[in-house]
């Protein structure tokens, strides 16, 4: 396969990053992890950097991202503790500094219903390796492929973490995963993180993830993969607050498996990062398993944001719902693609998709594509997409009552965005999500 000059340079920078971290992590006792890293990166080299000639990357230009060298971090840097306390949503927290788990800054529920196993600090065997690998998960039709983000994450998997939530457990305060990126005076920071989260049978888990930058002097990169296994009868609710800085880029992937009677409810609030790509794969494995994916993204200036999901119904009477809202300004570019697959022998399922978008300038653009791939008629399915500007009649209503144009626009955009956030059950998380989006709407610069 021939590579362009820019693509070749991107591969060289990834090879440099890989050599950088392998030189520090080839110690005795890490060989299974070391082997996984080696094999994954060999596949990554064969695959190459995604190009716009690939259907699933057609609207996402990633070639410029890896023209920079992002140095993977392997040690915990000193951080601003005021920032950590300011962003924290719960006493139950897991803190990651440039992708590295900061045990001393983290706190788990006192009743030990959550067990944390960092791969780097415990004996690594084939069983642990099999838990964190992400094979056969792709947005496309060929399930033998492995995604670019999967391979990238596994190539730098030393910051891997396994969390087990005990069967039947619940906790009064949510878990909060805090990802902080710090500045390096000499290198562009690369934060790589790989988490396996197992929710035990009949457990109830509420957690939030938030992404922050300590300061923004130089470009930095966050790569995060989460494998989430929800056991029979377990319920899991997650809120993601993607608040990366304007010089940050993020590649995020979720791989979710839901067993019989399990529930996963997700809400993404995305505002920040010059470049972001969010992928989520969901497999409904048992009868009456349910998934609900909600999201609100706000793009401004020349930001690029891509949001992809794929849901596979593998059992009868399963339910899925995807609702995303986009707010775009200036010269920003957004992509939304949602796919649902229901095979011929999987009946009595329901699947619904909706994409609603507001364009607040003449130069912004959204590509939206909800897809239903249904092979039988015994289902209830719908999909839809809207792209519009603010309703002039509604603006006139506010103006006629003495409200200036800017405040009227802010009010309408806020009303458009907060509807989905009202579904977040935890009040503190819900209030933070609404506050984050409201501040950005009122001050989009």
Enumerate the domain spans of the chain: 5-390
Give, as one character, the DSSP assignment of residue 46: H
Q: Residues of the chain with pLDDT > 90: what percent? A: 54
Instruction: State how beta strands 304-313 and 275-284 pair.
Output: parallel
Question: Residue 211: which pLDDT band, with cuts at 50, 70 and 90?
Answer: very high
The neighbouring-strand residues paired with 363 are none
> In 10 A of CB 445, how many CB atoms?
8
Question: Residue 307: which pLDDT band, with cuts at 50, 70 and 90?
Answer: very high
Give, as one character, the DSSP assignment of residue 214: S
Across residues 195-201, what is the average pLDDT?
96
Across residues 151-176, what is the average pLDDT?
90
C-beta separation of 177 from 211 below 8 A: no
pLDDT in tens, 85-119: 899 999 899 999 999 999 999 998 877 799 998 88
The helix (run of H) or strand (run of E) holding residue 322 is strand 319-328
Which of the pair, 439 or 358, is modelled with greater confidence?
Answer: 358
The helix (run of H) or strand (run of E) holding residue 121 is none
- The H-assigned helical ranges of 92-177 are 126-132, 148-155
Q: Which residue has the tokens 């239903």?
A: 372
- Give the whole-angstrom CA distance, residue 140 versus residue 147: 9
Question: Is 90 exceeded by the pLDDT of residue 164?
Answer: yes
From residue 215, give the alpha-carbon distance in Å to each of 85, 226, 394: 16, 25, 39
- Give the whole-angstrom CA distance, residue 71 versus residue 385: 40
Q: What is the pLDDT of residue 121?
A: 66
Stated length of the chain: 445
Instruction: State how beta strands 114-118 and 160-165 pair.
Output: antiparallel
- Give the whole-angstrom CA distance, residue 214 versus residue 104: 18
Q: Per-residue b/e over 205-223, b at no fewer than 16 CB within 10 Å?
A: bbbbbbbbbbeeeebbbbb
- Give the whole-angstrom CA distance, residue 395 versus residue 173: 41
Question: Is 60 exceeded by the pLDDT of residue 171?
Answer: yes
Across residues 207-221, what is the average pLDDT?
87
Q: Highest mean pLDDT range out of 7-21, 42-56, 95-109, 328-342? A: 328-342
Q: What is the pLDDT of residue 55?
A: 85
Question: Is 80 exceeded by the pLDDT of residue 304?
Answer: yes
- Give the whole-angstrom CA distance, residue 208 versus residue 228: 13
Question: Residue 440: which pLDDT band, with cuts at 50, 70 and 90?
Answer: confident
Q: What is the pLDDT of residue 24?
A: 67
Question: Is 70 exceeded by the pLDDT of residue 424?
Answer: yes
Handedness of CA 133, 137, 142, 143 (dihedral sign): positive
Q: What is the pLDDT of residue 138?
A: 54
Q: Closest Cα to residue 319, out of 296, 345, 347, 338?
A: 347
Question: Is 60 exceeded by the pLDDT of residue 28?
Answer: no
Mean pLDDT lowest for which of 18-27, 48-57, 104-113? 18-27
Q: 135-139 contacts: CB < 8 A, separation 24 or more?
A: 137/255, 137/281, 138/281, 138/310, 139/56, 139/279, 139/281, 139/308, 139/310, 139/337, 139/339
Token pair for 366: 């959204």
Handedness of CA 394, 398, 401, 404 (dihedral sign): negative
Q: Which residue has the tokens 């966050």?
A: 222
> In 10 A of CB 112, how many CB atoms?
9
Burial (CB count within 10 angstroms: exposed 0-12, middle 13-18, buried 19+), residue 283: buried
Question: Is 50 exceeded by the pLDDT of residue 241?
Answer: yes
C-beta separation of 324 from 297 below 8 A: yes
The neighbouring-strand residues paired with 241 are 210, 269
Q: What is the pLDDT of residue 253?
A: 95
Whole-number mean pLDDT of the chain? 88
Mean pLDDT lowest for which of 112-121, 363-372, 407-416? 112-121
Question: Residue 62: which pLDDT band, with cuts at 50, 70 and 90?
Answer: confident
Q: What is the pLDDT of residue 1?
A: 37
Chain centroid, CA 75 distance in Å = 23
Question: Residue 122: which pLDDT band, with cuts at 50, 70 and 90?
Answer: low
Q: What is the pLDDT of residue 67?
A: 85
Question: Is 90 exceeded by the pLDDT of residue 441?
Answer: no
Question: Residue 3: which pLDDT band, with cuts at 50, 70 and 90?
Answer: very low
- The SS3 call for residue 55 is helix
Question: Is 50 exceeded by the pLDDT of residue 370?
Answer: yes
Q: Closest Cα to residue 325, out of 417, 207, 189, 204?
A: 417
Q: What is the pLDDT of residue 125?
A: 61
Q: What is the pLDDT of residue 5?
A: 39
């Amino acid at each position: 396969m021939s590579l362009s000059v820019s693509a070749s340079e991107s591969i060289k920078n990834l090879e440099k990053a890989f050599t950088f971290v392998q030189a520090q992590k080839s110690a005795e006792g890490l060989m299974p992890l070391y082997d996984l890293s080696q094999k994954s990166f060999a596949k990554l080299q064969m695959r190459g950097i995604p190009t716009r000639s690939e259907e699933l990357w057609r609207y996402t230009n990633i070639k410029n991202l890896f023209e920079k060298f992002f140095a993977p971090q392997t040690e915990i840097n000193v951080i601003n503790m005021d920032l950590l306390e300011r962003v924290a949503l719960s006493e139950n927290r897991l803190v990651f500094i440039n992708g590295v788990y900061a045990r001393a800054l983290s706190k788990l529920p006192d009743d030990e219903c959550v067990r944390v196993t960092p791969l780097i600090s415990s004996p690594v065997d084939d069983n642990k390796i099999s838990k964190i690998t992400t094979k056969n998960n792709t947005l496309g039709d060929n399930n033998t492929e492995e995604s670019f983000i999967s391979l990238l994450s596994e190539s730098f998997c030393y910051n891997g973490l396994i969390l087990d939530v005990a069967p039947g457990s619940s906790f009064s305060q949510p878990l909060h995963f805090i990802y902080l990126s710090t500045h390096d005076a000499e290198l562009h920071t690369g934060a790589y993180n790989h988490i396996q989260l197992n929710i035990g049978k009949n457990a109830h888990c509420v957690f939030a993830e938030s992404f922050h930058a300590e300061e923004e002097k130089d470009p930095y990169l966050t790569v995060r993969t989460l494998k989430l296994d929800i056991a029979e009868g377990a319920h899991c609710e997650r809120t993601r607050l993607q608040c990366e800085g304007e010089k940050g880029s993020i590649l995020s992937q979720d791989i979710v498996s839901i067993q019989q009677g399990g529930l996963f409810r997700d809400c993404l609030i995305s505002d920040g990062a010059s470049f972001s790509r969010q992928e989520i794969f969901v497999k409904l494995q048992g009868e009456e398993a349910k998934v609900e994916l909600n999201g609100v993204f706000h793009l401004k200036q020349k930001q690029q944001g891509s949001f992809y999901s794929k849901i596979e119904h593998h059992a009868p009477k399963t339910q899925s719902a995807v609702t995303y809202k986009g707010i775009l300004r200036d010269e920003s570019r957004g992509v939304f693609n949602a796919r649902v697959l229901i095979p011929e022998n999987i009946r009595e399922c329901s699947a619904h998709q909706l994409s609603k978008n507001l364009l607040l300038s003449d130069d912004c653009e959204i590509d939206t594509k909800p897809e239903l791939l249904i092979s039988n008629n015994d289902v209830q399915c719908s999909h839809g997409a809207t792209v519009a500007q603010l309703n002039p009649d509604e603006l006139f209503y506010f103006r006629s009552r003495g409200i200036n144009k800017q405040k009227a626009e802010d009010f309408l955009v806020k009303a458009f965005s907060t509807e989905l956030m009202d579904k977040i059950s935890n009040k503190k998380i819900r209030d933070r999500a609404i506050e984050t989006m409201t501040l950005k709407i009122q001050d989009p610069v």
